[in-house]
């Protein structure tokens, strides 16, 4: 028999790969020369009789900074080595009856930070995925146990009863109602033109229904109490009041799940919620594949499920394939994107690179997961007896049976009989003394459950793929103000440092278990990225203090090694610039990224490190405060017009302000000193570092001294930072005098 046509194809990004490898070779050689220069100079200093301690320590700190940066650069080789991109051919999939069922898991936690209208848009867009309706099941996890969310979900169901047929009738592509109506484009929908009069009438009608739906949800939100941390489990099948079975077959299953929460029990944040959904859904639909979505990530292209199946149904790769990751894209990104809210490097470079290895990590949302991958395989040995299985999976026999049952059940009919079991599965004591969160399900060790769980899966030999179709499959809301952005990044990196400080530190735990060393380097590059805080703090203080003292730390212009330093600086920045240009941007995103990298490194990364240490010694508990999804109007306006908004807590603003003030001072005084002494040959690089920092962070200077609007840096933060900078300068100078 002829081989069936392939469902997908994979192309190596050839030109990109050649440029990358050439760069790796050249930049790597230059780095070796630089390190050689440092090591030999250090030996010279040690051998010299008249070495001074402060000078020697400064030299060592600068060298250590260069080592850390080189180490991180070395790890980044992994995702530059073999970038690939993929295409799919969903038209070659088997007919609908042969497609496997899909469960969609959507998590929400707090209706105040996550407005219900937005969450329901995500739910409706998932119900409207282009997939056989009897094979699509949507579960909404409400961690707040809020009547607002439940009430809104009932309204969403009522609206979806009209919305789904409308989408199918006219072949609508954008099936998130809010996105569809705000586009105001009548061309969406393959059938919208041919029957235009009828279409216009129907569209008007459905738009009216949508307005009614929105108003009702807003009213519920106004009148009811919100999130609680102490409530019993509550699981509800959403259906029509008159329970008209015939009609309901035209709708996907929709289930509301609010797991039990008690202040005395750890609830493990999103990972805990997802594990409850895994168990509850196993009683109703037990689909072999699961789409996981954050509450703000609506389905923008209804064909993503079929696209994902092109990989999961490919017999050559599917036995080892754990998930298909789509990029996280956002509907609220401005053309400038000054905070790099879209995580450009991640989704337009790193994930392609990881896909060319053993696959990217999943990012918590927008991925189609194989259920069995989360149940582990070693736990399911054929000879395991019930007692052993209960130790792993918990006391529910029905759940254990579901693991071995491949076909999914008809959830609607089973609902009332399964309700008691589901309450047990959603109770907060269910996981006690089991392997949930350790060996099976989403792992609990870290608040970046996505990164850690996928790392664990990869250590067990699972692979993944990344697909980035031209039309964004999912769209969410990105953080568009500095405050939310910094809080979010601090949470992510705290989670990553937790992993680095545990026995699962990727270089130690991953290296012997992962099948490719490059894959382990890719994981490590993400996990150890927080180390940037060290070189960025050192290089923003030490060369500057030495500049003021007239102590050179870098080769003089006439020294051949001067060129090595210049080359390393230029080549790493030119590579970044080449990447932004290749992505079709101007050079500005490069400047924004550098700026944010510095701000994050001296703020978020060091706090993450300190937080994680506090967690480790028991001084603090892990926390996951959901990101705010309601934008402040003024802040969002400033973001749209490319103006930084520094209304963030002093804790986050002070580090960068302190360093900027320090660099302005050292640049001015240093320049005077160079002019007076004429010693520019030896001091050039140090003066340049100060200049570079000041130029790059000019918006910070502007916001401290020249701006009057509410996005400026508050006087108190600026004063505190000036004081800190003065302290560093005075103490630094005193140390050198000793
Ligand atoms: O106790 C919790 C906390 C959060 N969530 C949900 O988790 C999702 C992600 O939370 P969000 O506040 O949006 O965090 P982000 O930092 O934006 O999320 C990114 O980072 C997380 C890991 O830190 C991943 O889980 C997410 O998928 C990824 O989008 C949201 O739907 C929340 O409702 C819960 O269900 N329970
Ligand atoms: Mn989010």
- Ligand closest to Cα of 328 equals 1
Q: In terms of pLDDT, which residue wins out, 315 or 415?
A: 315
- CA of 448 from ligand 1 middle (Å) equals 9
Does residue 433 carry a catalytic annotation?
A: no
| pLDDT one-digit tens code per residue, 95-150 | 999 999 999 999 999 999 999 999 999 999 999 999 999 999 999 999 999 999 99
Distance CA 473, CA 452 (A): 24
Residue with tokens 């930084």: 644
- Looking at residue 243, its pLDDT comes to 63
Task: Answer whether 143's CB lies under 8 Å from 229's CB.
Answer: no
| pLDDT one-digit tens code per residue, 348-357 | 999 999 999 9
Closest-lying ligand 1 atom to the alpha carbon of residue 114: 33
Position 224 confidence tier, pLDDT thresholds 50, 70, 90: confident
Residues contacting residue 669 through CB under 8 Å, at least 6 positions apart: 548
Is the predicted pLDDT of residue 26 greater than 90, yes or no? yes
For the Cβ of 689 lying below 6 angstroms from any atom of ligand 1, the answer is: no
Task: Answer whether 447's CB lies under 8 Å from 272's CB.
Answer: no
| pLDDT one-digit tens code per residue, 450-494 | 999 999 999 999 999 999 999 999 999 999 999 999 999 999 999
User: Residue 72 class from Cβ within 10 Å (0-12 exposed, 13-18 middle, 19+ buried)?
Assistant: middle
Sign (positive/negative) of CA torsion 424, 429, 430, 436?
Answer: positive
Is the predicted pLDDT of residue 1 greater than 90, yes or no? no
Is the predicted pLDDT of residue 300 greater than 60, yes or no? yes
Is the predicted pLDDT of residue 194 greater than 70, yes or no? no
- CA of 229 from ligand 1 middle (Å) equals 17
For the Cβ of 107 lying below 6 angstroms from any atom of ligand 1, the answer is: yes
Distance CA 427, CA 267 (A): 10
Q: What residue's CA is closest to ligand 1, atom 22?
A: 448
For the Cβ of 488 lying below 6 angstroms from any atom of ligand 1, the answer is: yes
Strands (E), 126-173: 136-142
- CA of 365 from ligand 1 middle (Å) equals 9
What does each C-alpha distance from 586 to 334, 546, 583 come to in angstroms? 14, 36, 9
Does residue 576 carry a catalytic annotation?
A: no
Lowest mean pLDDT among 188-197, 379-388, 591-600, 610-619: 188-197
Distance CA 79, CA 518 (A): 8
Distance CA 230, CA 619 (A): 24
Length of the chain: 738
- CA of 294 from ligand 1 middle (Å) equals 6
Per-residue b or e along 589-626, where b marks 16 or more CB atoms closer than 10 Å to that residue's CB? bbbbbbbbbbbbbbbbbbbbbebbeebeeeeeebebeb
| pLDDT one-digit tens code per residue, 504-563 | 999 999 999 998 999 999 999 999 999 999 999 999 999 999 999 999 999 999 999 999
The pair of three-digit structure tokens given for residue 459, joined into one six-digit string = 């250590």
- Looking at residue 435, its pLDDT comes to 96
DSSP string, 412-453: HHHHHHHHHHHHHHTSTTTTTTS-BTTTBSS--SSS-HHHHH
- Looking at residue 192, its pLDDT comes to 61
Q: What is the ipTM of this complex?
A: 0.99
The residue annotated as part of the active site, out of 103, 142, 143, 340, is: 143
Which residues make up the environment of ion ligand 2, defined by Cβ < 5 Å?
Answer: 294, 627
What does each C-alpha distance from 578 to 347, 584, 586 come to in angstroms? 16, 10, 10
- Looking at residue 548, its pLDDT comes to 95
Is the predicted pLDDT of residue 389 greater than 80, yes or no? yes
- Looking at residue 186, its pLDDT comes to 62
- Looking at residue 407, its pLDDT comes to 60
- Ligand closest to Cα of 627 equals 1
Q: What residue's CA is closest to ligand 1, atom 33?
A: 108
| pLDDT one-digit tens code per residue, 644-682 | 999 999 999 999 999 999 999 999 999 999 999 988 899
- Percent of the chain whose pLDDT exceeds 70: 96
Best residue among 296, 364, 448, 495 to mutate for probing ligand 1's pocket (most ligand atoms within 8 Å of CB) is 364
Q: What residue's CA is closest to ligand 1, atom 7?
A: 270
- Looking at residue 402, its pLDDT comes to 92
Mean pLDDT of the chain: 94
| pLDDT one-digit tens code per residue, 242-277 | 765 545 668 999 999 999 999 999 999 999 999 999
What global pTM score does this model have? 0.96
- CA of 407 from ligand 1 middle (Å) equals 31
For the Cβ of 448 lying below 6 angstroms from any atom of ligand 1, the answer is: yes
- Ligand closest to Cα of 488 equals 1
Distance CA 173, CA 160 (A): 15
- Percent of the chain whose pLDDT exceeds 90: 86
Lowest mean pLDDT among 40-49, 372-381, 583-592, 684-693: 372-381
Distance CA 524, CA 518 (A): 10
């Amino acid at each position: 028999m002829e081989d069936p046509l392939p469902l997908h194809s994979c192309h190596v990004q050839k030109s990109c790969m050649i440029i990358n490898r050439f760069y790796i070779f050249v930049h790597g050689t230059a780095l070796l020369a630089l390190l050689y220069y440092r090591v030999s100079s250090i030996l010279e200093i040690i051998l010299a009789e008249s070495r001074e301690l402060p000078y020697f320590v400064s030299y060592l700190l600068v060298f250590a900074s260069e080592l850390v940066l080189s180490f991180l650069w070395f790890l980044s080789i992994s995702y530059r080595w073999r970038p690939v991109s993929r295409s799919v051919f969903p038209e070659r999939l088997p007919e609908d009856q042969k497609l496997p069922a899909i469960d969609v898991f959507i998590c929400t936690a707090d209706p105040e930070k996550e407005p219900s209208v937005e969450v329901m848009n995500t739910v409706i867009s998932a119900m409207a995925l282009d997939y056989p309706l009897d094979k699509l099941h949507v579960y909404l996890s409400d961690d707040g146990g809020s009547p607002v969310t439940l009430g809104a979900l009932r309204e969403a169901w009522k609206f979806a009863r009209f919305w789904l047929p409308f989408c199918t009738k006219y072949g609508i592509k954008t099936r998130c109602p809010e996105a569809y109506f705000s586009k105001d484009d009548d061309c969406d929908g393959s059938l919208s033109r041919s029957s235009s009069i009828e279409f216009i009438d129907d569209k008007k009608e459905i738009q009216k229904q949508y307005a009614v739906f929105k108003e009702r949800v807003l009213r519920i939100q106004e009148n009811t109490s919100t999130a609680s941390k102490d409530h019993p489990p509550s699981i509800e099948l959403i259906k029509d009041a008159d329970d008209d079975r015939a009609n309901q077959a035209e709708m996907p299953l929709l289930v509301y799940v609010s797991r039990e929460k008690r202040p005395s029990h750890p609830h493990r944040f999103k990972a805990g919620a997802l594990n409850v959904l895994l168990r509850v859904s196993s009683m109703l639909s037990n689909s072999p594949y699961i789409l996981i979505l954050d509450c703000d990530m609506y389905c923008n292209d209804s064909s993503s499920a079929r696209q994902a199946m092109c990989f999961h149904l490919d017999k050559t790769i599917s036995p080892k394939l754990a998930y298909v990751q789509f990029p996280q894209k956002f509907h609220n990104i401005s053309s400038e994107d000054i905070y790099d809210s879209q995580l450009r490097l991640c989704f337009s470079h790193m994930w392609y690179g990881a896909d060319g290895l053993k696959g990217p990590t999943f990012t918590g949302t927008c991925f189609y997961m194989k259920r069995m991958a989360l149940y582990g395989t070693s736990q399911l040995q054929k000879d395991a007896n019930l007692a052993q299985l209960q130790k792993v999976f918990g006391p529910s026999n029905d759940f254990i049976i579901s693991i071995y049952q491949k076909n999914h059940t008809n959830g609607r009919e089973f609902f009332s009989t399964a309700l008691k079991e589901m309450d047990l599965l959603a109770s907060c004591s269910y996981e006690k003394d089991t392997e949930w969160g350790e060996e099976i399900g989403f792992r609990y060790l870290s608040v970046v459950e996505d990164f850690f769980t996928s790392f664990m899966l990869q250590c067990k030999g699972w692979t993944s793929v990344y697909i980035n179709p031209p039309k964004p499959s999912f769209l969410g809301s990105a953080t568009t103000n500095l405050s939310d952005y910094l809080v979010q990044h601090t949470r992510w990196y705290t989670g990553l440092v937790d992993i680095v400080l545990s026995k699962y530190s990727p270089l130690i735990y991953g290296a012997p278990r992962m099948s490719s060393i490059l894959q382990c380097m890719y994981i490590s590059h993400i996990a150890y990225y927080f180390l940037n805080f060290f070189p960025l703090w050192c290089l923003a203080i030490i060369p500057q203090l030495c500049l003021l003292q007239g102590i050179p730390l870098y080769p003089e212009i006439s020294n051949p090694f001067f060129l090595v330093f210049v080359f390393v600086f230029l080549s790493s920045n030119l590579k970044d610039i080449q990447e932004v240009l290749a992505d079709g941007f101007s050079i500005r995103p490069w400047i924004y990224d550098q700026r944010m990298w510095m701000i994050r490194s001296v703020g978020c990364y060091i706090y993450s490190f300190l937080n994680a240490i506090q967690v480790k010694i028991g001084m603090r508990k892990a926390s996951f405060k959901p990101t705010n999804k309601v934008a402040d109007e003024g802040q969002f306006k400033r973001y749209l017009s490319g103006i930084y908004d520094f209304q963030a807590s002093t804790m986050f603003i002070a580090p960068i302000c302190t360093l900027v003030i320090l660099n302005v001072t050292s640049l001015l005084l240093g320049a005077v000193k160079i002019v007076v002494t004429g010693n520019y040959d030896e001091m050039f690089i140090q003066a340049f570092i100060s200049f570079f920092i000041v130029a790059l962070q000019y918006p910070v200077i502007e916001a401290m001294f020249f701006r009057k609007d509410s996005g400026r840096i508050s006087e108190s933060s600026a004063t505190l930072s000036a004081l800190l900078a003065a302290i560093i300068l005075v103490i630094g100078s005193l140390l050198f005098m000793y």
